[in-house]
Amino acid sequence: MLNLKKNTPRWVIVIIDLLIHLFALSIAYLIRFDLKADFSLIQSEWEILSKSLWFFITTKLIVFGIFQIHQGLVRFSSTADFKRILLAETVATMIFIIGGLVRFYQLDGYYLYPNSVLVMEFILSTALIISGRFAVKLLYLEHTRDKGPQEGILIFGAGTAGQLTKRLIEQDSANNQFVVGFVDDNKALRGKRIDGIRVYLLENLQELLTKKQVQTLVIAVQELQTKKLQELAEIALSLGLQIKRVPEARTWVNGSFQVKQLKPIDINSLLGRPVIEVQNPKLSAHFEQKIVLVTGAAGSIGSGIARALLQQSCQKLILLDQAESALYELENELNEIYPNTVVDYVIGDICDQGRMQKLFKTFQPQIVFHAAAYKHVPLMEANPAEAIRNNIGGTQILAQLAAENQVAQFIMISTDKAVNPTNVMGASKRIAEMLVTQLNEHHPTAFITTRFGNVLGSNGSVIPLFAKQIAKGGPITVTDERITRFFMTIPEACQLVLEAATMGSGGEIFVFEMGEPVKIIDLAKKMIQLSGLKPYTDIDIQLTGLRPGEKLYEEVLSNAENTVPTYHPQILIARTREAIQGQEDLIGALLKKANDQENEASVKIMKQLVPEYISNNSTYQKLDQQ
């Protein structure tokens, strides 16, 4: 018995194919005589055939050799192989017809083979050769497939990508998956069969789960709208299905991909709103041949801004951070992706005035993106002086140097936590906003602020934390089941920051339309489900209580503010209250107290500067009662 997992010698396949052809030729003769030929008739036909049988065998061997029919492995036969077999059989038959005409008119007056025999032999040979290979392929796939419990898969999208996905899954002997059917929105396809399996509508999903062993929905549509992706994800997750996606076509190799490239969809795809897109032709012109400095460049937002700027035509990019290892990793990444760009990587602390003066004198930046900041609420609540020194003092040093060196634009990255702050971190960012807005009134440099909410996947955000907790088997920790946050992706945030830079003339606080807030506990549940697990069953969710300074929900605008629209529907300008009297002196006193590590006295001054700053779940709540 042939071993399906080993290569059968080629000569064996050649002999089998030759025997199939001789068998087909014999059956064709029998059919010609209605299966009733007597011995004398057979003998007379054989006398004619025997003279040309060598021509039949030789022709078949030569033609099949020319078309390389026996070069491939039978168990891996494809549609292309079947097409070659059909073409080879056609060519051989045409040679027999031409040879028959030559023999009839030039030699002994007999045809090589009756035309009816040739037609029947062609049909039988082609059918037997192709079906034989197809049968071997099916036997091989079945023989080598994992015999463990099988996982049913539905493929959304019955188009080319969907059909390719189906074939790849079936051909991958290393997995135990089988395709139950296609799911498609096109009602005209309902009940039809494509590539051997049935097409269902999305509304049949619940019914299929009860009848079939479906565990996974694979999305095979390349250009799928975000709204549709969210709808599919919500339906699949509510039914307990895993949801995976076919990789982007640009990552395919030779028009195909591997089954292992099917990955769970990214949580970024489930924001609950359409993805923010910026397509502004003015971006390149705005940054063309400019020297641009990015502070906090090794952080999530800073590095995202750097990547976005590298797609523009900057003359030079200066990336500043005090985190040596993170900046080194960013350097390696960007050098690999953008080998021909001019980028300087600078280690330095924004609170070190001498170092910053040297930086501005050496590089003379024309545009500054200020993303360096301490951002973790509980840590800053425990270390107010450091939050003030870095977020306010560091910003003041950079902003003043920008003004002194006649920088064209200074764009500061702020946060929604600066609105009606309940913690030291948010209050420090609000004071930094006030500081740069006031500087804008006295200097030609355009000081611009951009304010947005949480960024999915950024360093220290809930997404990486939840991913680590899931990888460890749980539990996922959520501070409060009511807590909500606004979210956007890193590319969205960075593109909007660049867009704000092109439209800002100075003094604006740009706020971004963030959509509806997301409940953190719902985010946790979705991440668990996207990992193929069940919340509270496979991975527990524990409520730990609000952390110091944390509030249940964030705001983009305070009650005392309103907005003015811009030409971009998702970018607004906040109108804030006037600066309080003696703001500059208070900020100076605040920085002095922070440098002296007088935490309580520092927070007290912060509350004077930001009257709406009311501490929550913090030791500094007592200052609100004084």
Q: Please list the active-site residues.
A: 417
429: helix, strand or coil? helix
415: helix, strand or coil? strand
Cα first-last separation, the chain:
93
Q: Enumerate residues 6+ apart whose C-beta is below 8 A from 576.
A: 433, 437, 509, 558, 560, 561
Residue 204's alpha-carbon distances to 245, 265, 384, 521, 557, in angstroms, are 20, 22, 57, 29, 44
Q: What is the 3-state secondary structure (H, E, C) of 325-371?
A: HHHHHHHHHHHHHCCCCCEEEEECCCCCHHHHHHHHHHHCCCEEEEC
412: helix, strand or coil? strand
Q: Which of 21, 13, 102 is nearest to 57 (CA)?
A: 21
Task: Indicate the residue type of 403.
Answer: A
Cα separation, 566 vs 394, whole angstroms: 30
The single residue listed with the structure tokens 């409060």 is: 480
b/e sequence 107-122, b meaning 16+ C-beta within 10 Å: eeeebbbbeebbebbb
Contact by Cβ (8 Å): 80, 71:
no
Residue 609's alpha-carbon distances to 99, 221, 447, 582, in angstroms, are 103, 53, 20, 9
Starting at the edge strand that comes first in sequence, how are the strands of the sheet with 193-194 ordered?
A: 193-194, 197-200, 177-183, 151-156, 214-219, 242-245, 263-264
DSSP string, 144-213: HS--S--EEEEEE--SHHHHHHHHHHHH-TTS-EEEEEEE-S-GGGTT-EETTEEEE-GGGHHHHHHHS-
Contact by Cβ (8 Å): 597, 385:
yes
Phi, psi of 372, deg, nearest 5 = -75, 125
Q: Which of 115, 121, 125 is nearest to 28 (CA)?
A: 121
H or E, element range at 414:
strand 409-415
H or E, element range at 409:
strand 409-415
Q: What is the 3-state secondary structure (H, E, C) of 135-160?
A: HHHHHHHHHHCCCCCCEEEEEECCCH
